[in-house]
Amino acid sequence: MSKFSKICMLGWTILCFVGSCSGMMNVAKNTQGKMGDAEAFGVGIGLFFWLVLWAVPMVVLGIIALVTRPKATAYAAPAQTLAAATLCQHCGKYYPGSARFCPLCGGQQ
């Protein structure tokens, strides 16, 4: 995942957290700390809304990041590979060891 994507996801998380906190503080201020059942239900719905608003883009962006990431490749150290390999004079490919016949094309060395 790119650095830009990580920064955007962090920014989105912070924005959603601030939005949900400001909503809860607004309800607490308007009810003077004495919430009834209706207010508490409204706060719960609001928090669920912010959770969904945060989670949906995160899941979508996470899937996109997993699908578009570069594939991991195994790199062998060139010195180790070339030292233990022999170049076939017939097919031009390297094979392990120092056999008299190429295991890939059957050519005699």
The pair of three-digit structure tokens given for residue 63, joined into one six-digit string? 């899937």
Environment class of 102 (CB within 10 Å of its CB; exposed 0-12, middle 13-18, buried 19+): buried
pLDDT band at 100 (very low <50, low <70, confident <90, very high): confident
**Of 57, 58, 50, nearest to 17 (Cα)?**
50
The pair of three-digit structure tokens given for residue 23, joined into one six-digit string? 């909503």
Mean pLDDT of the chain: 80
CB within 8 A of 65, min separation 6: which ones? 1, 5
Mean pLDDT value across residues 36-65: 85
- Res 105: pLDDT: 87
The pair of three-digit structure tokens given for residue 62, joined into one six-digit string? 């996470």
pLDDT at 6 > cutoff 60 = yes
Cβ(54)–Cβ(13) below 8 Å: yes
pLDDT at 26 > cutoff 60 = yes
